[in-house]
Structure 1
Amino acid sequence: MAKIAFILLCHKDPEAIIAQARRLTAVGDCMAIHFDARAPKADFARIRAALADNPNVTFARRRLRCGWGEWSLVAATLQAVEAALDAFPRATHFYMLSGDCMAIKSAEYAHACLDADDADHIESFDYFESDWIKTGFKEERLIYRHLFNERTQKGLFYASFEMQRRLGLTRAVPADLRVMVGSQWWCLRRRTLEAVLAFCRARPDVLRFFRTTWIPDETFFQTLVRHLVPGTEIRSRTLTFLIFSDYGMPVSFYDDHYDLLLSQDYLFARKISPEATNLKRRLGDLYASRGAEFRISNEGRRLYDFITGRGRVGRRFAPRFWETESTLGRDRELMIVVCKKWHVAKRLVARIRDETGLLAMEYLFDEDSAELPDLGGIQTSMEKRSRHRRALMRMLFEYHGTDRMVICLDTGNVDLLRDFHTDRSVTRILQVECAFSDAYLLGHARRVGLAGAQTPQETVDTLLPTIRADVHHEADTIRDAGFEHVHVMREGADPARNAAALSGFLSVPHETGREIAATENLFVD
């Protein structure tokens, strides 16, 4: 059965470290602690004294002064690994933790997971081909020597980098290594770490290289494990659940995240807020529990992206008054005229308004200038109208005191059509298909900025077939979407057929449909 030796790198909060060590070793697992030499000696003395009688806890032989992004973090990890390998000969797996990590599964569950898959769990993506590094230095981390800390010695860090760049003082990656990158929070088997230490003793050149790379804790173990272990025995993922913001900062978890954390397909989570005392208590009790069942939904990162995305586009947890409902109303009818030629649709809805008395509005989701009443600000921009599309339509129904409305949409607004079609209201669509001459398409290209008065004829000749294909593709997309209650009106079609389409679309007598279909110059450009 798996026996875990935790490799704990920490630098603060001695009471939390003591509690963490006691929780994780209470069920028979072990821990090797490296406490940053920058931290007060009194804090370290308190940790040692509190854990002195715990045979499942050991300490790195040397305390190193650690700095973010420096080799010192890797060196401290190696110190703790060596101590753990020596002190716990029965440990089968070695799991990297920080003081902000906590188990989100029981020990029973964690051991069963490790027993079920004889593999190393470490993110290990190709350094140059993957997009794991989102911003900042990439190749520069490796090909230049970084002798200063970017956070504490910013001036020297960038001056050294700039001097090397200007003088061309680059270096090569060790020829036999394929550099990999990934999270520093790994879980490795005993034989893997023994192979890593043996490699370090045999290859001082590799250690020299990584000592002056930037942020080596994201590349050192990731590269060596992939170099030393068959790919079939590596799971390129961390078992620690963590989320990074767009700014590269780890997201903290609080008391109300307990259920979310337990449902993630991970064994630990980072980072737990120091203020989340209730969460820490519940997670601490969980690790020693037996028979706990976990329903894995693994939606944590998607939820984070969704919630932050709402904030980014101005949506709030406490909705504005227009956001409290999300349907137009079960007994309402929304009739949508879909047409690429806006002037044709505007003529048509004007005639519909005259013949039927229906509320008929033009391209309110396509034109900023669409005439709308004051609806509390929701109507002020196309962005707001589209974002709160259902609320806008519901408010228009209520403002005008009607249950039937006609609007116009461009054929490119298939997403709006899909959204309205899924509402509980009745949605009908009239697809108006027009003929498109080259002259019209060229005018369209100029209106939308794809061409100008001085655009060469050769460019125009290339552009027009593409625009025509896009127009036809939009029409085909609507036809293929499987909408209900779709009626089609075509330029040049038999008047009786267009009249039937209008009659069905508007739920009016055939004679009324015929009058509307006979609108003079309806399709004239």
Structure 2
Amino acid sequence: MAKIAYILLCHKDPAGIIAQAERLTAAGDFIAIHFDARAKREDYDRIREALATNPAVAFAARRVKCGWGEWSLVDATLQAVEAAVEAFPRATHFYMLSGDCMPVKTAEYAHRFLDATECDYIESFDFFASDWIKTGIKEERLIYRHFFNERTQKKWFYRSMQWQERLGLKRSVPHDIQMMIGSQWWCLRRRTVELILAFCKARPDVMRFFATTWIPDETFFQTLVRHLVPEVEIKARTLTFLMFTDYGMPVSFYNDHYDLLLAQDYLFARKISPDAIELKERLGKLYIETGHRFAVSNEGRSLFNFLVGRGRVGRRFAPRFWETESSLGRTRTLLMVTCKKWHVAKRLVDRVRQVTNFPAVDYLFNETSTPLPDLGGIQSTLEKRTRHRRALVRMLFDYWQSDVLVVCIDPANVDLMQDFYNDKAKVRLLEIQCDFTDDYLIGHAKRVGLAADSTPVEVIARLLPTIRYDVRFESDRIRDAGFPGFYQIRQAVSVDENTVPLAEFLDIPAAKAREIAATSYLFVD
């Protein structure tokens, strides 16, 4: 059975470190601790004294003064790894942790998980070909030597790079290694760790190279593992659940995230807020439990993106300068149908086709599979359709040789609606308001990845009001936009009440409008 030696890098909260070491070793695992040399000596002495009698705890032989982005973080990790390899000969896996990490599965689950596959878990992507680095410098991390810290010595950090560039002091990556990048939170097998330590002693040239790179904790282990271990034995993922905001800051978890964290396909999570005392206590007790069954739904990132995205209204479909002056045509009429239940809008539009013979297109800006004629490739992708939306719709008018066209559009696309309203053509908008039961909203959450069949009932119960508000908010935005020629039909009213706005929207006789409104299956889910 797997035995884990945890490699803990920490710099504060001695009480929390002591508690973490005791809980992780209580289930038969080990821990090697590196406590930052910049931290208070009395805090370090307190940790050593409290854990002195625990044979499953080891300490790095040398404490390093650590700085974010510096080689010192890798040096500190190697110190703890060496201590663990020497102190714990029974350890089969070495798992990198920080003081902000907590288990989200039991030790029993973690051991079974690691026993199931003979591999190393480490994010490892090509440094130059991948888009892992989203912002900031990229190749400059490697080709220049970094002696200053960008966070604490920003002026000298960038001045040093400029001098090296002017003097032609660029360097090459060691010729026999492929530079990789990924998260610093890894879990490696004992054989892999021993190969890395041996490589460090045999290749001082590589060690010197990494010692002056920037943020080497995202490249050192990631590169060496790929260099030393067959690709088939590497899973390019981390077993620690973490998320980042749009500003590159790690997301913190609090007391009410317990169920969400347990549902993720990970063994640990970071970063747990220092204030989440209850969460830490519950997760600490969980780790040593036996027989606990986990329903893994893995919807954490989707939920986070959904919830924070509610505050980003109005950023899609910015006007393109080459389309500002283009027009669908003054004599043409574009009829937009919007509904959150896409199947309802599609049914209505299909009945419009049958009753009026108007050409009509389903969600052409939302679904790649929407049937469209060949228009020379402009229709081939959603990105092209949206970028050249006026040109696309104008070509559809021309293709069908019609002055009327009906299209479906998602209610979230208010800016897209606004762009068409800014055209010289006649534009009208029909909103279909549907009833949304809890069952429908739960199904919607599952379809878009916000929940799964195994998502706890409590999580769904907390999510439902947000989804319901989101649907209502989209409808409110459309009304608040003040679009002229705006009409509504509703599921909750009679056929006769829906006939009038439908007739005005389509500009057809009331009898034909009633024939469409009376469609028996229109609102069936």
**Structures share a fold, TM > 0.5?**
yes
Matched, 1:51 2:51: yes
Matched, 1:183 2:110: no
Change (3 A) 1:500 1:311: closer
Matched, 1:312 2:312: yes
In the aligned structure 2, how far is the partner of 1:231 from the partner of 1:470?
Answer: 53
The letter for the 2-side match of 1:288 is: I
Change (3 A) 1:26 1:500: closer
Change (3 A) 1:472 1:69: farther
Partner of 1:229: 229
Partner of 2:241: 241
Any stretches of 5+ residues in structure 2 without a counterpart? 316-327, 361-389, 410-431, 433-505, 517-525
Match of 1:8, SS state, is strand
Query: Does structure 1 conserve the Cα–Cα contact (< 8 Å) formed by 2:92 and 2:190?
Result: yes
Report the alpha carbon displacement of residue 502 of structure 1 after superposing the two structures with TM: 5.4
The letter for the 1-side match of 2:84 is: A
Partner of 1:79: 79
Change (3 A) 1:169 1:283: same
Partner of 2:514: 507
Change (3 A) 1:312 1:500: closer
Change (3 A) 1:344 1:209: closer
The letter for the 2-side match of 1:129 is: A
The letter for the 2-side match of 1:294 is: F
Partner of 1:28: 28
Match of 1:260, SS state, is helix
Partner of 1:253: 253
Deviations, residues 238-262 of structure 1 (Å, cap 9, x unaligned): 0000001111111000001000000
Q: How does 1:104-183 map to 2 (within 5 A)?
A: 104-183=104-183
Partner of 2:344: 422
In the aligned structure 2, how far is the partner of 1:277 from the partner of 1:418?
Answer: 41
Change (3 A) 1:425 1:66: same
The letter for the 1-side match of 2:55 is: P
Change (3 A) 1:128 1:314: same
Change (3 A) 1:306 1:203: same
Change (3 A) 1:117 1:505: farther
The letter for the 2-side match of 1:206 is: V
Match of 1:289, SS state, is coil
Partner of 2:16: 16
Deviations, residues 88-121 of structure 1 (Å, cap 9, x unaligned): 0000000000000000000000000000011000
Change (3 A) 1:433 1:173: same
Change (3 A) 1:420 1:14: same
Match of 2:67, SS state, is coil
In the aligned structure 2, how far is the partner of 1:136 from the partner of 1:85?
Answer: 36
In the aligned structure 1, how far is the partner of 2:246 from the partner of 2:225?
Answer: 28
Deviations, residues 173-210 of structure 1 (Å, cap 9, x unaligned): 00011000000000000000000011111100000000
- TM-score normalised by structure 1 residue count: 0.66
Report the alpha carbon displacement of residue 152 of structure 1 after superposing the two structures with TM: 1.2
Partner of 1:7: 7
Report the alpha carbon displacement of residue 501 of structure 1 after superposing the two structures with TM: 8.1
Give the count of matched residue pairs: 376
Deviations, residues 117-142 of structure 1 (Å, cap 9, x unaligned): 11000000000111110000111101
Deviations, residues 298-345 of structure 1 (Å, cap 9, x unaligned): 111111111111112289xxxxxxxxxxxxxxxxxxxxxxxx666454
Report the alpha carbon displacement of residue 468 of structure 1 after superposing the two structures with TM: 2.6
Q: How does 1:45-444 map to 2 (within 5 A)?
A: 45-313=45-313, 343-345=331-333, 408-409=335-336, 416=338, 419=341, 422=344, 429=352, 432-433=358-359
Change (3 A) 1:219 1:420: closer
Report the alpha carbon displacement of residue 168 of structure 1 after superposing the two structures with TM: 2.1
Query: Does structure 1 conserve the Cα–Cα contact (< 8 Å) formed by 2:105 and 2:287?
Result: yes
Match of 1:7, SS state, is strand
Change (3 A) 1:465 1:252: closer
Query: Does structure 1 conserve the Cα–Cα contact (< 8 Å) formed by 2:7 and 2:33?
Result: yes
Partner of 1:39: 39
Report the alpha carbon displacement of residue 84 of structure 1 after superposing the two structures with TM: 0.1
In the aligned structure 2, how far is the partner of 1:465 from the partner of 1:80?
Answer: 61
The letter for the 1-side match of 2:131 is: D
Structure number with larger C-alpha Rg? 1
Query: Does structure 1 conserve the Cα–Cα contact (< 8 Å) formed by 2:339 and 2:345?
Result: no
Q: Percent identity?
A: 63
Change (3 A) 1:418 1:286: closer
Report the alpha carbon displacement of residue 505 of structure 1 after superposing the two structures with TM: 3.9
The letter for the 2-side match of 1:506 is: A
Match of 2:290, SS state, is coil
- TM-score normalised by structure 2 residue count: 0.66
Over the residues paired in the alignment, what is the CA RMSD in angstroms? 3.3
Partner of 1:357: none
Any stretches of 5+ residues in structure 1 without a counterpart? 316-339, 346-362, 364-407, 435-462, 486-498, 510-525
In the aligned structure 1, how far is the partner of 2:135 from the partner of 2:68?
Answer: 17
